Amino acid sequence: MTESENPGLRDSLIEYPCDFPLKIFGQQQAGFAQAVLEVVSKHDPDFVAASMEMRASKNARYVSLTCTLRATSREQLDAVYQALCDHPMVVMVL
Tens place of pLDDT per residue across the chain (94 aa) = 444 555 554 567 899 999 999 999 999 999 999 999 999 999 999 999 999 999 999 999 999 999 999 999 999 999 999 999 999 999 999 9
Domain boundaries of the chain, sorted by first residue: 21-93
Q: What is the pLDDT of residue 23?
A: 98
Structurally, what CATH architecture does the domain formed by 21-93 represent? 2-Layer Sandwich (3.30)
Residue 62 to residues 7, 22, 39, 93, Cα–Cα distance (Å) = 36, 16, 19, 13
Backbone angle region of 51, left / alpha / beta, with phi > 0 → left and psi within -120 to 50 → alpha: alpha
* Distance between first and last Cα of the chain: 31
What SS3 class is residue 30? coil
